[in-house]
Structure 1
């Protein structure tokens, strides 16, 4: 049984991490969050210690380490901009880190934490759960088998958000990395994992609400569109009362993977605990891709842009 700490335990995604820790037969020893209503923890680990300040968590972890009961893993579910400091916190406390995506916002932070990995002998793992999705695994197997064939892909993801979004840390590009990072990082990781590295990266549009562009990958030409705006939803979504629309087509064929997400964090933890988790180098391509998108000068409606952009 491994011993876990969790930072950001009141956040939405933390529930999946607690469930994964429980389902893999391990123990959440301690947790911290600035938010003090933590009833959710009672469903999983009612005996876990809870702290409002990370400084007190730090002291507690140091105390139990000195007593011979160190924390093995620190799970990190905090806002994106806090990830580098919390990863350092884990490594410096003699624990491995399991960090939600994006691992970091800025590529330079990857180099620093990789150095700290080497200094401490501990590992940094990230959550790239789409790589464990059965449909995505089947697609990768098919693409690998086909060899050097080039594919045409349209990636569309619209997940509508209310007025709160831009007032929260998610609406601050310095804290979230912007819309392409915050809602797109897992899709960019998925397509580069399957279709290869980036050869050309063109941005057609970028603002606080939406982004669109074109990627030339080793095995694919990708038109992509990401949005937070309800008005960007296509009729097939609004007619069903849906507020989220997700679509990936490969050579005109729809890849359906809306379901099957429930247990992917548990699968992620199982692989990490078995020594097969995804680390810093696995996250590199998508982090560098989104960093470029965030800083590029958009071209507008020129070239091979996503068809949704014309309406937007």
Structure 2
């Protein structure tokens, strides 16, 4: 049995999950090819690179919206990926994808990525635009029903389809509960954002590709403090995130950021069979997925450990 263990001591988000799996040896080129089945590749570009977080080398995965690139990075409104809820959050991670890397991202995956943006050392772009998130989303907002249909007609294998639909259903039900509407009427840019679609389906593709048969996770730290979302200032964790973590052990953390995003919460709560300390296993691979934020005394990475139990 091949087990994947999410050691999420700094929380988790969709792009951190993909970064960690790529770091552990998953094939990004095959993932990209599979994602093209969604027929939305003209809406985004992908990039991944090695960065260093507090002394740990990790893989940083980013989804960049084509509409944003054409709207010139000067505005910095980089829709902080994964932001399932358009919040201005300070988003510890990832998604504050505030990459002001003006390099038009057409490095279409040569992935030599020499442009030394180890965003972590320079700190120049972890913080600068902790997005005001006015979010004038230039891409179409997709409803839950649209996304389900997109996944069903894409032609993924049975396991990728099952995981992707289950994760989106978890998010849709949580949003529906928070906003008092039935699942079939949930229509929201949070889940409709291209980056969330790529992060969730990309994670399912990589997990399937790596032959994972069992998934376990550590208790999930959510952070503390406040975030600003469309409806105002809310405590961390955001309502939808907390809703998805019902039944999941949460770990205390004094870090004043949103450590676990809605997408990260959905992936953990749907895919993990158990929340526990690291299981007894023979380790085959270890991977680190980087978030965008850099903390003073704490590496902002998600660690995955893959092995045989």
Give yes or no for TM over 0.5: no
Q: Name the structure with the higher helix share.
A: 1
Which is bigger in relative contact order (C-alpha 8 A, separation at least 6)? 2
Q: TM-score, normalised by structure 1?
A: 0.29
